[in-house]
Amino acid sequence: MSFVSRNHPQQVAARGPLDDVDDRRTPFDLMDECMILARIEVLDLDAAASHENTLASCCYTMNNSGLDGIWFGNVWCNPPYSDIRPWVKKATDEANRCDTIAMLLPANRTEQAWWQDLIEPGRRDGTLQVFFLRGRRRFDRPGWAAPAKGDRPPFGLVLVVWRNR
């Protein structure tokens, strides 16, 4: 069975995103790897989390959106992939307030406007760090005790890091 997109940009434009598709939690081993790359020892804020899986002392969830709240300290963000641009824009706007922001993004969308407008200039001038992660990683799903088919997206991941200079 091949992958069937359920939150493709055209689908989201027509009906809005499906929360159950976007609610993919970063496994702890992947999060640990990203924290090492970002040189973060303690997380202060998880900007797009659930209370069940955050490793930060404070988090924003679907009930209190990280797009509306203030970001501070060392921030982790694995945003909903159905609407990435506002999350990357928020990170760009909050970067001077925070010590470090580490954001996990799909690596197959570098041609899209949000990447070209918000990531690429910082990647080129050195104000952002970009780490392409090896392989296709599996995500956790709420209520699923074991990995299941569909938890591994059909694309690689990239970690983007903003540092307050």
Residue 87 corresponds to which tokens in the numbers above?
């999350």
**Model pTM?**
0.79
Residue 12 pLDDT greater than 50, yes or no? no
- Per-domain residue ranges of the chain: 18-163
Domain 18-163, classified CATH 3.40.50.300, yes or no: no
Coil, strand or helix: which one is 45? strand
Higher pLDDT, 160 or 54: 160
- Whether 102 and 75 have beta carbons less than 8 Å apart is answered as yes
- Whether 103 and 160 have beta carbons less than 8 Å apart is answered as yes
At 141, the amino acid letter reads R
Tens digit of each residue's pLDDT (9 = 90 or more) over 92-101? 999 999 999 9
Tens digit of each residue's pLDDT (9 = 90 or more) over 149-160? 655 666 789 999
- Provide the 8-state DSSP code for 100: E
Cβ atoms < 10 Å from Cβ of 152: 14
